[in-house]
C-alpha cells in the first residue's frame, strides 16, 4: 500500500466534509436555542439545567428564617392535627379493647419486620 494514502484527495475531502457537518450541527443547535429564547437578555446555551436556584417566595423564606416553628407558619395544619388527635382520643375512649388490639397488632408487625 502506498504510504501517502492518508494524504489522498478523497481522504482530505472526507475530513473536510466531516468538519463542515460538525460545524453545521453545532451552529444549528445554537440557532434553535436563539430562536427559542428571542428576545431575551440571557446568553444562548445548548445545555439545559434543571437545578432550582433559590426560593420563589421571598416572604415565606424570611418567615422561616425568623421563626422556624412550623405551627406558627401554618396554624390551620396545627389545628387539623389537634382535631385528628382529639378524634383518636374519642375513639379510644369508646372502644378501649379494640384500640389495644390494634396497637398490639401494629407492634407485632413492626417487631416481626425488624
- 37-51 residue pLDDT tens: 666 556 656 666 666
Residue 106: domain span: 69-112
- Top mean pLDDT of 31-40, 70-79, 91-100 is at 91-100
> If you average pLDDT over every residue of the chain, what do you get?
75
Flag whether 85 is in a domain.
Answer: yes
In terms of domains, do 74 and 104 share one? yes
Q: Say if residue 76 is in the same domain as residue 107.
A: yes
- Closest residue by Cα to residue 46 from 32, 35, 58: 32
Residue 41 belongs to some domain of the structure: yes
Is residue 76 in some structural domain?
Answer: yes
Q: For residue 59, report the phi and psi dihedrals to the nearest 5 degrees.
A: -65, -45
Between residues 48 and 2, which one has the greater pLDDT? Answer: 48
Q: Tell me if the pTM is above 0.85.
A: no
Per the structure, the count of domains in the chain is 2
Write out the three cell numbers for 31: 440557532
What confidence category does residue 61 fall into, taking pLDDT thresholds of 50, 70 and 90?
confident
> What does the pLDDT average to over 76-82?
68
Task: Specify the pLDDT at position 2.
Answer: 53
Range scoring the smallest mean pLDDT among 2-6, 9-13, 28-32, 61-65: 2-6
> Looking at the domain assignment, is residue 61 inside a domain?
no
DSSP states along 42-110: SPP-S-------S-S-HHHHHHHHH---HHHH-HHHHHHHHHHHHHHHHHHHH-HHHHHHHHHHHHHHH
Q: What are the distances in angstroms from CA 75 to CA 45, 89, 112?
A: 44, 21, 38
Amino acid at each position: 500500500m502506498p504510504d501517502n494514502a492518508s494524504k489522498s484527495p478523497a481522504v482530505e475531502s472526507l475530513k473536510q466534509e466531516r468538519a463542515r457537518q460538525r460545524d453545521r450541527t453545532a451552529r444549528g443547535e445554537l440557532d434553535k436555542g436563539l430562536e427559542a429564547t428571542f428576545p431575551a437578555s440571557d446568553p444562548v446555551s445548548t445545555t439545559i439545567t434543571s437545578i432550582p436556584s433559590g426560593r420563589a417566595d421571598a416572604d415565606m423564606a424570611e418567615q422561616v428564617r425568623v421563626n422556624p416553628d412550623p405551627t406558627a407558619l401554618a396554624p390551620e395544619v396545627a389545628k387539623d392535627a389537634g382535631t385528628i388527635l382529639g378524634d383518636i382520643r374519642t375513639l379510644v375512649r369508646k372502644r378501649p379493647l379494640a384500640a389495644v388490639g390494634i396497637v398490639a397488632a401494629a407492634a407485632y408487625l413492626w417487631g416481626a419486620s425488624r
